């Protein structure tokens, strides 16, 4: 099987993320997706505003809104939010490999993240362990990737505008928990 590892801050998860998930499953690019909210992301200018637990919950709420045929192939994996200290993708991949020793691990990255992969912890070892699936992110042309007609949206935009680009259950969770209010 091809196990897609889709990590991110997901602060919050939005419809752009769900589009990537749906397209990867519907186009049979991967057989299964492990959605992994980051614990303590290292290459970010600022730490997440929502806690790891809140971001994990929002991911699960969003996955629950996917069509059944997609949802059945997606799992929210809390490995990084449960890990103490910094989150390194290589550690996550090594742990996932123990669960899926005979499967191909496909690391799903936006073109913006892919252009920084050489800065990642133990990047050469990581690249030897995974196949990369780079998704073209609108506005980032430095690294070319698969065009899945990604939605031009960022979590920053969503936080600022609380837009209709959120799954309804995630929007409700954000409102009920007073997240991202200035």
Q: Do the domain assignments include residue 182? A: no
In this structure, is residue 37 part of a structural domain? yes
Domain count, the chain: 1
Q: What are the pLDDT digits (tens) for 73-89?
A: 999 999 999 988 787 89
Q: Give 33's contacts (C-beta < 8 A, 6+ positions apart).
A: 3, 4, 5, 6, 21, 24, 25, 73, 74, 75, 108
pLDDT above 60 (res 44): no
**Packed helices 15-26 and 52-64: angle between N→C axes, nearest 10 degrees:** 50
Threshold 0.95, pTM exceeds? no
CATH number reported for the structural domain that contains residue 73 in this entry: 3.40.50.620
β-strand partners of 76: 35
Q: Which residue has the higher pLDDT, 66 or 85?
A: 66
Quick one: pLDDT at residue 162?
62
Give the domain extent around 22.
Answer: 2-176
- Asked whether residue 181 is domain-assigned, the answer is no
- Each residue's pLDDT tens digit, 110-124: 888 888 899 999 999
Of 178, 171, 179, 182, nearest to 62 by C-alpha is: 171
Judge contact between 16 and 45, C-beta under 8 A: no
**Cβ(78)–Cβ(30) below 8 Å:** no
The answer to whether residue 146 sits within a structural domain is: yes
Q: Are 42 and 88 in contact (CB under 8 A)?
A: yes
């Amino acid at each position: 099987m091809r196990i897609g590892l889709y990590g991110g801050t997901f602060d919050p998860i939005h419809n752009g993320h769900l589009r990537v998930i749906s397209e990867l499953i519907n186009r049979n690019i991967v057989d299964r997706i492990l959605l992994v909210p980051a614990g303590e992301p290292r290459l970010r200018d600022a730490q997440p505003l929502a806690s790891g637990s809140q971001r994990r919950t929002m991911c699960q709420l969003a996955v629950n809104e996917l069509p059944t045929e997609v949802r059945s192939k997606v799992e929210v994996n809390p490995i990084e939010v449960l890990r103490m200290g910094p989150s390194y993708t290589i550690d996550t991949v090594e742990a996932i490999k123990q669960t899926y020793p005979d499967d191909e691990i496909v690391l799903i990255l936006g073109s913006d993240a892919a252009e920084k992969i050489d800065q990642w912890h133990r990047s050469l070892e990581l690249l030897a362990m995974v196949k990369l699936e780079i998704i073209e992110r609108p506005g980032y042309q430095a690294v070319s990737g698969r065009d899945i007609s990604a939605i031009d949206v960022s979590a920053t935009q969503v936080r600022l505008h609380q837009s209709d680009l959120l799954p309804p259950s995630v929007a409700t969770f954000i409102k009920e928990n007073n997240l991202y209010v200035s």
